[in-house]
Structure 1
C-alpha cells in the first residue's frame, strides 16, 4: 500500500506519460501545419475554412451583411446547441441584421463538443 501510494509521485511513469503527450501534441501540430500547406498549395478550403472566411468577410465588410440580408425577413437556426465559437460569430452578424430570429437548440442533444461546440450557448 505504501508503494502504491507513492506511485503518483514516482517520476518514471509520470515523466514518460508527459513526454508521450508532448510528442503526440507536436505530431498533431505538424499534421495541421502540413494540411494547411497542402490546402494552400492545391487552392482548396475545407468546411472550417469556409465558416472562418465567411465570418472574417462579414466582420470586415458590413455591407456584405446588408447585401445578404436584403429580402430575408427571418433567420432560423436549428440544432443551435451544436454551434461552435466560429459558427456563433458568423451567425451573430446575421442575427444582428435580421428582423426576426428563431434559434432552436436542446443542450441535452449536444453531440459536437469535439469540434468546440458549447451547449451552454443554446
Structure 2
C-alpha cells in the first residue's frame, strides 16, 4: 500500500487511520517492512528527517524504493531506474547470445540476412 501526503502531520494521520482500520478488521501488517520516503526539493534537503510512527514502531526512512517495476528515489532522479533497465537489457542480450552460440556461422548468416 502507498500513502501520499503533502505534510508530515497528514501522513501521520493517514498511518494512524490505517492502523485503526487494521485493528478493527483484524488485518495483519508487518511493522518492520513498513518504510517511508520524503520527496523534497534540493533547497530543503538539509531539513532533518521527520519521525513517523506506526503504533509504537518508528518507521525507517528510505532513499530509494522499488514501485511497480521502477525505482523511485528521494532526489527525484531516474539514474537508479536507468541502471536497472540497462542491467535487464544486458541480461537479455547475454541470454540471446548464449542460445545462438551453438549454431554454425553459415546457419547464423542464413537466418539473419536481410
Q: Does the TM-score normalized on the shorter chain lie above 0.5?
A: no
Which one has the bigger helix percentage? Answer: 1
Higher alpha-carbon Rg = 2
* TM-score of the superposed pair, with normalisation by structure 2: 0.28
Which one has the bigger strand percentage? Answer: 2
